[in-house]
Structure 1
Amino acid sequence: MKNNSGHDMTSHSGHGGARPGGLSVSEGGYTLQFDSTILSTGVQTVTFRVIGPDGQPVTEFTPEHEKELHLIAVRRDTAGFQHVHPVMDRKGTWSVELALEPGDWRFFADIHPAGHDGAMTLGIDASVAGQYDPRPLPGETRTAHVGAYTVTLDGELTPGEASDLTLTVSRDGRPVTDLQPYLGAYGHLVALRVGDLGYLHVHPEGAPDDGTTEPGPEITFMATAPSGGTYRLYLDFRHADGVRTAEFTVPATAASSRSGAAPQAAPAHTDHRHGHHTHHADHAHR
């Protein structure tokens, strides 16, 4: 499903919400290949390639949301989320600097190979050496604090049904009405299904240049949860020349099972400023 700016509001996997993306290292003949899936702790450069059906690195991509490749890094316990934009050399090798803590990590590459009929999300696991202390999954969270910013989430994830999620941004108690465009939108939302990290990359309704979409304080998304369960949501937004990430934990449940809902028939804070090499949710993205 696309909004009026052409943004895909369900999933980059090309399955329209039928299943999340990023569960496979290969799709449609394309494979995500890291130079090493055993990484060191700390700030480091990670290199990888996308191998095409001909067995060679892909060097031509169709930009999606102003970038040829979006890389999402997150630890398996859903900590350490980073959304970055690697640089590719002439031979098709991508490189990017990441700040990694010990543990098991999942990496997602959002791509649209030139000539392919659509975008896709490929995923790969990697291990970061060191003493690993997994963090408990945060409980249901609908308000996130990121420095001076507060972001509230309104709406429900419903399995198999499109639903609106509205995120409202304030700073020091005042609504933010001058959000800045980031990658062609006022916000980007990634949803990960807890348990297998099934990946959804949703985008807001409207666009900064459509003449009707306001630059805050509300950003509304349409998302489809592929199944019931718990999801971690990560909102990237840009304000005062900085990109920040607000994190949430929400359940996806059928409308009829929610408290006070009438029965229905079944449907058919962390601050990671990469420039400072810290690891928190208020950060500057590449």
Structure 2
Amino acid sequence: MKALMCRTQISAVALPGYLTGSLTLAILRMQMQWRPAKHYSPAEVEADQMPVLSNPNNSSPSQVSDSGADPNTSTNRPWRRHSFRVALAFGVGGVAAAAIIFYGVNDTVIDEEETITRAVASAEVRDLVEFNDLSGRMVYADVKPIVSSEDGVITDVLRSGDTIERGTVLYAINDSPTAAFYGTFPLYRELSEGAVGEDVIVLKKNLSALGYHSFEEHDGTMIDTGFVVDNVFDDSTTEAVKRWQKDQGAEESGVVSPSDVIVLNGPAEVADVSTDV
């Protein structure tokens, strides 16, 4: 059987710069896959052990020398030129294959990145609070000292932190209570029936606010005494003062002295209590 020996041989060829690396890769791969051609003995030829290739020029087998001549002779030159074309075709294919492989790898990476599960947290609305720790001592602003004008034994007194409201008993000297009234004008004198002035208005306003402008009968009937808030200390004022003194546990004299009332601007708190013996 006549056989065709193939040997890949590439001469120095000027290739475009951007293809050189790819073509070289393809040619090297082809050389590793194709074994170098060798001469076969007639026995091997008869035994069908030599690879058989079809004639690339579609020529008849008679054009191939069967004399076992050196493949480098002129009779093999057409095949060598064709071998170069085959190698070049493989090189171009190698470029395409390399491009497909490279792009395929990139596409796979992109697909994997797209399938990555991302952590998702629900949006929440919260209040931002900032705390500052400061060391110091709290003191009361606008502290007003209250000094008793009476000498005697303290029988009752508020404690530090107690709240002072209208009618609150601040202290008691010899069981005589001193209460807090609201206002801006002090009770600087003794008030009794017939007195007229700004301090009388303060007294009557506080008696009315505490509910002493009228009184309740035993059967629950409310009696209007004709109490009117003005600057005149009249008989209705005297009766109102007596009802107030009774509830305070004081003598029901109907007369108000400066030691009976301390006038404040409004609600307050006891900051400190001190006594002198």
TM-score by length of 2: 0.21
More helix by share: 2
Compare relative contact order (CA 8 Å, sep 6+) and give the higher one, 1 or 2.
1
| Structure of higher CA gyration radius | 2
TM-score by length of 1: 0.20
More strand by share: 1
